[in-house]
């Protein structure tokens, strides 16, 4: 069964208030809306990732997992010092399989990756979860040793946010070296986040080829639905900023075409996420 390994859900603001320090107001984005656009490409499984504007309030994520009834998995954000083992066990029972560190969005904790990683690594290890990292490629390269020696699986978001760098740059070598390690995975998601075109739907062919050569068995695909706006279009927390105007099926089709192999694309869409997230 095909899986979209990177989506966000957003509830009504009156029931699920967003963080006070947010840089824009995210509009409602529901499972029903997602299933309407994903159904034509036979995508039935989804991994809900906690967005920055909800901080450590994972209630929308958990509601989404309940609605998916086994077809969903979650990647949560927690305060390691204030989240009990009982709460985390409850999260696991509801389908959470990872903890996220966000060093890309303009709000949230800005402490160094090493400190944040160390704070949650023990939790992830005890639960058999992974740590998902969204950070620019230079930051990933600067923390190579930390990620390379991790005792829990690491999942790197959005092509490693490689914008401005090529695979033959030192930073590119570092990312590809990480991907060659058996505990490191990568999400082939949101090509527009690594392109000068904010509506790009096609992966960078040079980067895609390099990533697939390094770790095709540890790649998963994600849409990044509902395609939150570029940072330079955030106009304040009181204003609802429109999502990027992208067609879901084009994102899927362009990814499959870019791999050059329908068989490989299906493994990335189906088999790989089943292993990473523990789907049956």
CATH label of the domain that carries residue 24: 3.20.20.140
pLDDT, mean over the chain = 95
The pLDDT of residue 105: 81
Count of domains for the chain: 1
Cβ atoms of 97 and 91 within 8 Å: the answer is: no
> How many C-beta atoms surround the C-beta of residue 203 within 10 A?
24
Q: How far apart are CA 209 and CA 219, in angstroms?
A: 12
pLDDT for res 108:
66
Domain that holds residue 257: 2-277
Long-range contacts of 203-206 (CB under 8 A, 24+ apart): 203/159, 203/254, 203/255, 203/258, 204/159, 204/162, 205/258, 206/166, 206/167
The phi, psi pair for 246, rounded to 5°, reads -125, 150
The pTM assigned to this predicted structure is 0.96
Parts of the chain with a pLDDT under 50: none
Which of 182, 203, 183 is closest to 192 using CA atoms?
203
CB 77 within 8 A of CB 8: no
User: Looking up tokens 């929308």, which residue turns up?
Assistant: 60
């Amino acid at each position: 069964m095909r899986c979209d390994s990177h989506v966000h859900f957003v509830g009504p603001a009156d029931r699920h208030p967003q963080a006070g320090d947010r840089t824009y107001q995210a509009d409602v984005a529901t499972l029903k809306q997602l299933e309407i656009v994903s159904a034509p490409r036979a995508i039935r499984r989804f991994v809900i990732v906690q967005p920055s504007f909800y901080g450590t309030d994972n209630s929308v994520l958990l509601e989404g997992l309940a609605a998916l009834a086994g077809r969903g998995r979650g990647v949560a954000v927690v305060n390691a010092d204030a989240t009990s083992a009982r709460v985390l066990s409850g999260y696991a029972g509801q389908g959470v399989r990872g903890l996220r560190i966000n060093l890309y969005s303009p709000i949230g904790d800005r402490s160094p990756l090493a400190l944040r990683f160390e704070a949650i690594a023990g939790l992830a290890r005890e639960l058999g979860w992974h740590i998902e990292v969204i950070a620019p490629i230079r930051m990933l390269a600067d923390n190579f040793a930390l990620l390379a020696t991790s005792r829990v699986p690491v999942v790197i978001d959005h092509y490693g946010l490689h914008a401005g760098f090529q695979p033959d740059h030192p930073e590119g070598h570092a990312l590809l070296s990480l991907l060659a390690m058996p505990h490191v995975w990568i999400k082939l998601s949101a090509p527009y986040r690594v392109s000068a075109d904010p509506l790009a739907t096609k992966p960078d062919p040079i980067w895609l080829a390099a990533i697939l050569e390094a770790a095709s068995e540890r790649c998963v695909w994600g849409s990044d639905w509902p395609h939150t706006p570029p940072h330079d279009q955030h106009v304040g927390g009181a204003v609802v900023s429109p999502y990027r105007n992208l067609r879901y099926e084009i994102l899927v089709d362009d990814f499959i075409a870019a791999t050059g192999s329908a068989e490989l694309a299906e493994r990335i869409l189906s088999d790989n996420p089943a292993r990473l997230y523990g789907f049956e």
